[in-house]
Structure 1
Amino acid sequence: MKITVISFTKGGNKLNHCLCQALRNIGHDVERFQRYSTTPADEIGSFDNIGVLTGNLFESREGIIYIGACGIAVRSIAPYLQGKEVDPFVLVLDEKGDYVISLLSGHLGRGNEMCREVAALIKAKPVITTATDLNGVFAVDLFAGQHELLIKEIPRIKSISAALLAGEAVGIYSEYPLLGKPPAGLEPGVKKVGIYIGCDINAAPFETTLHLVPKNLVLGIGCRKGVTSMALYKRVTEVCSQADIDITRISAICSVDLKREEPGVHELADKLKAQTSFYSAEELSAVTGEFKHSPFVEETAGVGNVCERSGALASHYGKQLLPKTTGAGIAMAVFEKEFRIEF
């Protein structure tokens, strides 16, 4: 995850350093800021105005960790709050490292999970206040985040949680395989309030239906050098709309390794909240199947088809939803990865 750790005092700065090191050791992309740092900027970022810094980080980072008073964190994030589906998680640590407080986006943003993880790393006590966690009740927004499911009706989360906290059963219906035993409170036969897992947002198996849509599409892409993220986004949006493909379901963007340094591709991935994968011409040439061949692409990239071959490879030979489509200097194809839920 992309995480920023911010501290304000000498004691906080020391904890900041130790925490960042620990988070990097377990694979997180971590940057740190401390007030009035005298360390070179490439090692630690300094800041004068915490509100401005927070604003710059709020859309680009998946999580922000403040080491200091809760009041500082609350006032810093207040102007930038949009909703649990888009806000990063926010944790607050005291500078002695005794407590870790999950302040924002505990479920969808994985804040509660990170709260426990950070507490374990620094031997602190996690402080989590969400009712479902405290009562050991199934949390649909946490479940969605863990299984890469998009929640289409955020306000209906309350209906699901309220029913479970009241001891009522909640229905579940899935277009995809459900493996294992569902958590307590989820029952297939319930008709009043329930969860639907699938791609038909008009499906209504329950009186109140919360739709969870899998984020399991792979976009294979080829493009001319220097294409902008705006041009890529416009083209992808247009083509997917015509093919009735929901672009918010794109979880990965892939291409040939010649495109690894293309800013437009990475910016598109950030906009779609997708991962990126790049493959060598040799790896793409070894992909089996029938693909549209282009002599020009083979001459420039070393393989006659980039978008379909990379999409097939990244999706583990998933179902092809969109064949190679070209235009505006961009070639694209879309594949659907196999999807299932394991309880």
Structure 2
Amino acid sequence: MIELQEGIEPVVDQHNQYAIVAITKHGVQTARNLHRSFVHSDVYYMSKFEQGDEQQKHIQLFTGSVRMLLPTLFKQYKGIIMIISLGAVVRMIAPILVDKKTDPAVVVIDDRAENVISVLSGHLGGANELTHEVASALNARAIITTASDVQKTIPVDLFGSRFGWVWDSSDKLTPVSASVVNEEPVAIVQESGEKNWWHLKTPLPENIKQYPSISKALEAKPKGALIITHRLLTKAEEAILENGVVYRPQNVVIGMGCNRGTSADEIEQVILDTLQELQISIKSVKALCTIDLKKDEQGFLQTVAKYGWDFKYYTPSELNIATIEAPSDTVFKYTGAYGVSEPAARLYTGSDDLALVKKKSGNTTISVAVISHNE
């Protein structure tokens, strides 16, 4: 039992990413029904509606005002589903809102479970998607008010997120979003990354046009721009960012070998220097690959942990299958492979065309490959 008191933060028993909260008799029944089909959720409702099986079903009861429960739920859950009137929810959450990048998704269900409303963090927090899932589970109506959703256009802040694309900067997200939903001319230039980003059955809106290069887009003088590339822009190309957003697809792979005990600082610096030479953004790096003899190399482990990259290692026999332009008998003598960085990058990407075949730098060797995405 959770006893809610002013000035005392309640302790909740979190098991899942989503919380379902109810404060009325009908709301409790809806919460229990939703909990059966929406299994990745924790349920909270007032103790006066106790039915005797709450402990068995891991349902948490509370006494006091639900308003005092919400700050804790906001900190701990990815999404909060409330079977409470919309007006009451707005008043309760207003004082605890922080930022759309960190606030959880908030979804409201009416007391008859007829409407499911996306209230907060529709895009970045996933409330719109959560609304559709909950509405489907309850056979209810999903209500979404986000402009890009109702107009069936590109949600600028979520563009490419299902592929792992990240922005270079969020500074222009709002003005570019305004250009998109206000049907102003918007340019898209895609140099790399997944091509199947438009998933609606309707055509791409007429105000959004694709151009083969940034220079061509600049000639068209659009009001906004979406640029998808792993490449660093030139000074001349940066003019497109006056009202533009650069998205970094996860399509760059680092192949690397090193002497035992090479520090993470040296490994990181070699990667940064090499990418700068190649004019490639580090935000597009997807993985670091090496030989399995280096799977416990602390410098590698610390580097991939810092950046959140995949860490892939191959056996010598696997590496020897790949194309190696500069095989080394010395490397073979110590590792059983005729190369490490070059074949590791080729194996991960499945491509023979490398941005950098191999470079020796200090205690490391490095190769760089770019994943090519077909239509």
> How does the TM-score come out when normalised to structure 1?
0.64
By how many angstroms is 1:309 displaced? Answer: 0.9
Q: Does 1:5 align with 2:41?
A: no
Q: Please tell me the residue identity of whatever aligns with 2:334.
A: E
Task: Give yes or no for contact 1:89–1:105 (8 Å, CA) kept in 2.
Answer: no
Alpha-carbon distance, 1:149 to partner: 4.1
Partners of 1:252 and 1:136 in 2: CA distance: 34
Whether 1:161 aligns to 2:195 is no
- Which of the numbers 313, 325, 330 marks the counterpart of 1:290? 325
Matched, 1:192 2:204: no
Question: Does 2:298 align with 1:281?
Answer: no
Structure-2 residue corresponding to 1:325: 359
State the Cα RMSD in Å: 4.9
Aligned mates of 2:140, 2:304 — CA distance in 1: 35
Q: What amino acid maps onto 2:187 in structure 1?
A: G
User: 5+ unaligned residues in a row in structure 1: which ranges?
Assistant: 22-31, 40-48, 58-62
Larger-Rg structure: 2
Q: 1:207 to 1:53 in 2, by over 3 A?
A: closer
Question: How far, CA to CA, are the matches of 1:153 and 1:145 in structure 2?
Answer: 14
- Which residue pairs with 2:287 in the alignment? 252
Instruction: Quote how far apart the aligned CAs of 1:218 are.
Output: 0.8
Determine the C-alpha separation between the residues in 2 that align with 1:267 and 1:100. 43
**Separation in structure 1 between the aligned mates of residue 296 and residue 95 of structure 2, nearest angstrom:** 37
Superposition deviation, residue 111 in structure 1: 6.0
Aligned residues: 307
Cα distance, 1:250 vs. partner? Answer: 0.6
Change (3 A) 1:193 1:287: same
Query: 2:337 is matched with which residue?
Result: 303
Structure 2 residue identity aligned to 1:220: G
Q: Match of 1:237, SS?
A: helix
Q: 1:239 to 1:166 in 2, by over 3 A?
A: closer
For 1:177-216, what aligned pairs fall within 5 Å after superposition?
A: 182-187=204-209, 190-195=220-225, 196-198=227-229, 199=231, 200=233, 202=235, 203=237, 208-215=242-249, 216=251
CA separation of 1:242 and 1:172: change in aligned 2, threshold 3 A: closer
Structure 1 residue 184: Cα displacement: 3.7
**Structure 2, gaps ≥5 residues long:** 1-14, 23-27, 45-54, 57-68, 212-216
Which residue does the alignment assign to 1:45? none
TM-score, normalised by the number of residues in structure 2:
0.59
Residue 306 of structure 2 is aligned to residue 271 of structure 1 = yes
In the TM superposition, what is the alpha-carbon distance from 1:281 to its structure 2 partner?
A: 2.6
Deviations 1:105-130 (A, max 9, x none): 725x7664465457657877656443
> What CA distance in whole angstroms lies between the structure 2 residues aligned with 1:54 and 1:227?
42
Query: Residue 154 of structure 1: SS of its match in structure 2?
Result: coil
